[in-house]
Amino acid sequence: MDIILFGPPGAGKGTQAKRLVELLGIPQISTGDLMRAEAKSGSPLGEELQRYMSRGELAPDSLTIEVFKARLGQEDAKGGAIFDGFPRTTAQAEALEALLAELGRRVDKVVVIDVPDSEILGRITGRRSDPATGQVYHITYNPPPPGVEVVQRKDDTEEVVAHRLATYKAQTEPVLAYYDKKGVVVRVDGVGSLDEVTERIKAALGV
Residue positions annotated with a catalytic role: 13, 88, 127, 153, 164
Q: Between residues 136 and 148, which has the closer beta carbon with respect to ligand ADP?
A: 136
125's enclosing H/E stretch is helix 117-125
Q: Taking the complex as a whole, how short is the minimal distance between the CB of residue 35 and ligand ADP, in angstroms? A: 5
Contacts of residue 163, Cβ cutoff 8 Å, sequence gap at least 6: 55, 56, 57
Is residue 190 within 8 A of residue 11, CB to CB? The reply is yes
Contacts of residue 26, Cβ cutoff 8 Å, sequence gap at least 6: 1, 20, 77, 79, 80, 81, 82
Q: Whole-angstrom Cα distance, residue 200 to residue 69?
A: 30
Q: Taking the complex as a whole, how short is the minimal distance between the CB of residue 180 and ligand ADP, in angstroms? A: 19
CB neighbours of residue 175 within 10 Å: 20
Q: Taking the complex as a whole, how short is the minimal distance between the CB of residue 184 and ligand ADP, in angstroms? A: 18
Closest-by-Cβ residue to ligand ADP is: 32
Q: Between residues 7 and 27, which has the closer beta carbon with respect to ligand ADP?
A: 7
Binding site for ligand ADP (CB under 6 A): 7, 9-15, 31-32, 35, 52-53, 56-59, 64, 85-86, 88, 92, 123, 126-127, 136-138, 141-142, 164, 192, 194, 197
Q: Between residues 104 and 201, which has the closer beta carbon with respect to ligand ADP?
A: 201
The count of C-alpha atoms lying within 13 angstroms of the C-alpha of 114, restricted to the half-sphere facing its C-beta, is 7
Q: Taking the complex as a whole, how short is the minimal distance between the CB of residue 187 and ligand ADP, in angstroms? A: 15
**Dihedral of CA 136/142/148/150: which sign?**
positive
Q: Between residues 27 and 56, which has the closer beta carbon with respect to ligand ADP?
A: 56
